[in-house]
Structure 1
Amino acid sequence: MSYDVEKPDEQWRAELAPDEYKVLRRAATEMPFTGEYTDTKTRGVYSCRACGAELFTSAEKFDSGCGWPSFYDPKDSDAVELAEDRSYGVVQTEVRCARCGSHLGHVFEGEGFPTPTDQRYCINSISLRLTADES
């Protein structure tokens, strides 16, 4: 896959903190209920911590109780890409930044949350950077 932002692995390692690198570039997962954005209610835009692409907004964020920030839809339809993930012995749908290919989390459907899409984008806080609205 080709991305607008491509860097050699050594550069990603140099630019990201070790825990950021593990999640964003090696598809690790942060521990539940530990991320800085899990419970935040701040209004704003959530961008990719690796490349700065705008991914989600606080308007689509909801409390799912899962331990990670949850969104029911990305900011724009082309902000993220979805890929099949079989890494844990089950088939899941991985969510990646469409601009740099960094791992963000997974998306789940049909869980019955009262959201317009019935989807839960379960995203690692460490994959995101929140820019708060100034109003």
Structure 2
Amino acid sequence: MEARPFTPMVQKLRTAGLRPTRQRMSLAKLLFDAGDRHVTAEQLHHEATAARVRVSLATVYNTLHQFTTAGLLREVVVQPGRSYFDTNTTDHHHFFIEANGHLEDIPGDSVAWARLPEPPKGTRIERVEVIVRVTRD
């Protein structure tokens, strides 16, 4: 018997502790079927509209944040009020191309640290993220 098209998304959402609603499944399919990528809420909303998925921009934002909290996505804040959501949740960093707003992955082991500061008392460093801002020549 052939698997149904949403079966992997249902399993992915349930494993993350999220109820597989129609809208979550549709947005997950758009996000994860295309491989690793970086997307803004507005871009995903546009893709959903083009795919005839009836969903508001507010629902897209809420779903992206739910997916991030559940560990399915990483939010990459490139400046206040401007975030991308990354389907690659492995240890890595980013180039941010200022001219067109494009993010490109940098493997985690490509950035070396000579020293990190001691975190404030009662805290621990969870992860270090580097965004290298570049411009075109």
TM-score by length of 1: 0.28
* Structure with more strand by fraction: 1
TM-score by length of 2: 0.28
Highest relative contact order (Cα 8 Å, sep 6+), 1 or 2?
A: 1
